[in-house]
Amino acid sequence: MTTRVRFAPSPTGYLHVGATRSALFNYLYARQKGGKFLLRIEDTDLARSTDESTRSILEGLEWIGLAPDEDVVFQSANADKHRVTASKLLAEGKAYRDFTPKEAPTDSSVKDAIKERARAQGGEKNMRDNPYRDLSTVESDTRAGNGEPFAIRLKVPETGKTAFTDCVFGLQERDYAETEDLVLLRSDGHPLYNLAVVCDDIEMRITDVIRGQDHLTNTHKQILIYEALGVTPPRFAHLPLILAPGGKKLIKRLHGEIVSLTTYRDAGFLAAAFRNFLALMGWSASEEREIYSLEELIEKFSLAGVHRSSAIFNYEPNNPKRWTDDKLIWMNAEYIRTMPLADLLPHVKAELKAAKLWREEYDDNDDRDWYERTIDLIRARFFTLKDFSSQGRAYFSEDYDFDPAAIDKNLTKFPDLQTWLPELAMRFEQEFGQKSAGGSDKTFTEENIETVVKAFTEEKGTKLGVIMNGARTLLTGVAVGPSMLSVFEVIGLEKTLMRLRSQVAFNS
């Protein structure tokens, strides 16, 4: 049987990084088995589902490279089928009408109210004490016929237990006494989650359900529905959760944008790096290695390698340098500086375009070599694609800012530089400028530049670093970067002269 798995988010917000990992694991599993990866939008909660959320989920999946293999299924479109299934179970006596009036919502949070009620009931609660459970068919039909509203509940057997072997957590058993007669259909006719999921998974011919650990108890309920329907359940695998520092739930309300996938796209992360990082949250190939291509992940992935303990998404809210998980930041940087340049180039192009720094000449033969060499040179110290347009701005534009810390460290401390650097410009012009302008015809290359700068430094009786770092600040606006000799060469003689002569940085 062909493996068919699904990622089934509810469109009630952004695409969560934890949900993204579920999608990734489903995808890896499907690809490895030569199966299909499907997407189902669980929009049965009409009140909370939004189109915008659906769009953002689709967008996020596309960015991360997890496009579904078949058309997206919208659960709400199947509501009629869900109702038919509920009626069938009712007709077969496997479900019953519950005429208990719908409870009014409480003022406390739903979650707390449930917890409170459960605590009050303790372990004493008899899950089979619904007065309508054994109502005669005749009376049930009569009351329904009279227009009395009712919910349809599954009739969970008195004794016995549900059991399944989870591919991650092993044998899971739950006594029927622990499971209430779950509602299949609301009194307003809307199908509920557990019924909808089972119906759709059957219809989509899902073979393996891979989802978050928070669904572990739902699985027992769903197995009861499968049994009532006489359908063999799929295989189940539950994934440990991704938590926030301190072991708390990672949610937007508490932790902000860092939980949303699109944040990373917008912050200049590479999808490949993010996928790689995510794959290592809760899964391991049992080897000492951390960089994996998508192909390698597909090859190595296994549910047996998925952990049972939750992972913590580590970050420090008030530390700009560690605004998200430091290993993720490292991994993105690692990808940027080590991936094949040709693979990186399109991403940099997109970033420069977005920052209005892109020029078509970079694609032409004339400037292409320069462009690619420059990217290759500066990428070594960058963490995100954003760095190409921020820290790297001076390589592509005359309109760049000076980092006050760089000015302080490299210029202010050496007042002589205000005259020395324009002098250096003059020296460069003499050495490398046009013959017609009275210069020699030496080319502006690292080796030649070094000779000139060293001689200049000696004349001034200062250290090479003073000149180099002063020049660095003027030429690039920042205090860090590649070897200055390379920077001179890449910036080119003309711009170097201009920038060395500029007094802007000294006056700021």
Partner RNA sequence: GUCCGGUUCGUCUAGGGGUUAGGACACCGCCCUUUCACGGCGGCAACACGGGUUCAAAUCCCGUACCGGAUACCA
Question: Would you name the residues annotated as active-site residues?
Answer: 252
Name the minimum Å distance from CB 469 to RNA.
5
| 138, two tokens | 């005749």
One residue of 3, 32, 87, 187 binding RNA per CB under 7 A: 187
Non-local (6+) Cβ contacts of 358 within 8 A are: 349, 352, 396
Give residues 167-186 in contact with RNA (rule: CB under 7 A): 169, 172-174, 178, 180, 182-183, 186
Give residues 3-62 in contact with RNA (rule: CB under 7 A): 10, 12, 42-45, 48
Only segment of 136-144, 192-200, 229-237, 257-265 that touches RNA (CB under 7 A): 192-200
DSSP 420: H
Non-local (6+) Cβ contacts of 385 within 8 A are: 268, 269, 270, 336, 347, 348, 350, 351
**CA 111, 112, 114, 115 torsion-angle sign:** positive
DSSP 461: T
Sheet holding 235-239, edge to edge: 73-74, 36-41, 4-7, 208-212, 235-239, 161-166, 170-175
Label residue 189 left, alpha or beta by phi (over 0 means left) and psi (-120 to 50 means alpha).
left
Give residues 317-376 in contact with RNA (rule: CB under 7 A): 321-322, 325-327, 329-330, 337
One residue of 55, 62, 72, 102 binding RNA per CB under 7 A: 102
Give the containing element (helix H, strand E) for 41: strand 36-41
Q: Cα–Cα distance between 139 and 134 in angstroms, integer?
A: 10
Name the minimum Å distance from CB 211 to RNA.
9
Cβ nearer to RNA, comparing 14 with 362: 14
Q: List the x/- string, 198-237, binding to RNA by CB under 7 A.
A: ---------------xxxxxx-------------------
Q: Looking up tokens 């591919």, which residue turns up?
A: 167
Q: Cα–Cα distance between 429 and 442 in angstroms, integer?
A: 10
One residue of 55, 88, 307, 353 binding RNA per CB under 7 A: 307
Name the minimum Å distance from CB 391 to RNA.
6
Name the minimum Å distance from CB 384 to RNA.
10
Q: List the x/- string, 436-475, binding to RNA by CB under 7 A.
A: ----------------------------xx--xx--x---
Name the minimum Å distance from CB 426 to RNA.
21
> Residue type for 353, please?
K
Cβ nearer to RNA, comparing 149 with 439: 149
Give residues 118-147 in contact with RNA (rule: CB under 7 A): 118-119, 121-123, 125
